[in-house]
Structure 1
Amino acid sequence: MNDYLYKSHPSIFKSHPVGFILCVLLGFLVWGIGFVILFIWWLKVKGILLTIDNRKTILRKGIFSKQTNEVYHSDVRNIQVSQSFFQQIFDVGTLQVSSAGQSNMEISVSGIPDPEKAKKIINNQRNKNQENGNNLNSTNQSTADELQKLADLKEQGIITETEFQQQKKNILG
């Protein structure tokens, strides 16, 4: 089971407040047609879900047919956040993510609440992945160095084969 660090649908009102208010007014003034538009808009928005976990960012679109895009944080090349003046006021915006394997944005979603938070989470996870990779490489390198030194001691006759095997076993755990 994944623990999501961020999970959100786009916001209807915050991303398009004027359109939302017009739909409500149309709903009351023109035989409920605005409410029908609002319902269709709501369905469309509920069909879009952005989730971020500790390994990847996932964008799912669709209610009846589905489309899923995933980008692993270790592959992220670019993250873009754009917000208009009013989007900044309501703290929503567009988040776009691309990986090293693609030239275009693989994940692009508009109207996401707190897009800067989403960007920060992706960057934090990307940095953790890089640190873990560097630590793993340095651990592997130091183990290889220790084994080489041990082999040199055996070749020089400083330790016996039995001592070599015992020390090797201790190093490898």
Structure 2
Amino acid sequence: MTSNYAEHPAMFRNNPLGFILAVILIPAAIGILILLFWYLKCKSTRLEINENEIILEQGLLSKERTELNVSGIRTVKIKQSFFNRLFGVGTLSVYTAGDSPEIQAHGMPKPEIFRDLVKARQSDPA
């Protein structure tokens, strides 16, 4: 099992029909703009879990960084549609104390690995 998780949202696997449509629109030049915007949006988001922290970094020019201590996490929720399950991606929501998620990341590859790592870090005596 992987000891750390550091991923960007997936492009094709998260939305294969949108990707195919953008490729079809490349001759009209709008497809290139769509793919470029989509690529930059995916690469400017990164979800990471290391020894004791979960870090979500978003933004290209200006950055927003959310850090959570693994011991304070109450719930990790994974939401996947049928196609998300086929392609191995999903939306990760991390809850601490409230009813709204502290971290929510869409289109993340291998979400079950992330959840398993959080559980493993919580059960390890630090």
* Aligned counterpart, 2:21: 22
- What residue number does 2:36 align with? 39
Give the TM-score normalised by the residue count of structure 1: 0.69
Q: How far apart are residue 99 of structure 1 and its match?
A: 1.2
- The reply to whether residue 54 of structure 1 matches residue 54 of structure 2 is no
Gaps of 5+ in 1: 133-173
Report what 1:94 is aligned to. Answer: 91
Report how far residue 33 of structure 1 moved.
1.2
1:103 is displaced (CA, Å) by 3.5
**Paired residue total:** 124
Shift of 1:92: 0.3
Q: 2:64 aligns with which of 67, 71, 79?
A: 67
Residues 1-173 of structure 1 aligned to structure 2 (within 5 Å): 5-28=4-27, 30=28, 32-100=29-97, 102-128=98-124, 131-132=125-126
Deviations 1:68-96 (A, max 9, x none): 11111110011100110000000000111
Distance 2:44 2:21 in 1: 22
Q: Runs (4+) of structure 1 moved beyond 4 Å?
A: none
SS at structure 1 position matched to 2:26: helix
1: distance between equivalents of 2:63 and 2:95? 20
Structure 2's unaligned 5+ residue stretches are: none
1:27-58, CA deviations, whole angstroms, 9 ceiling, x for partnerless residues? 03x1x210111101111111100000010111
Higher relative strand content: 2
RMSD over aligned Cα, in angstroms? 1.1
Q: Percent identity?
A: 37
More contact order relative to length (CA 8 Å, sep ≥ 6)? 2
Inter-partner Cα distance in structure 1 for 2:99 and 2:81: 25
Higher Cα Rg, which structure: 1
Contact 1:71 1:98 in 2 (8 A): no
Aligned amino acid, residue 17 of structure 2: V
Question: What letter matches 2:34 in structure 1?
Answer: I
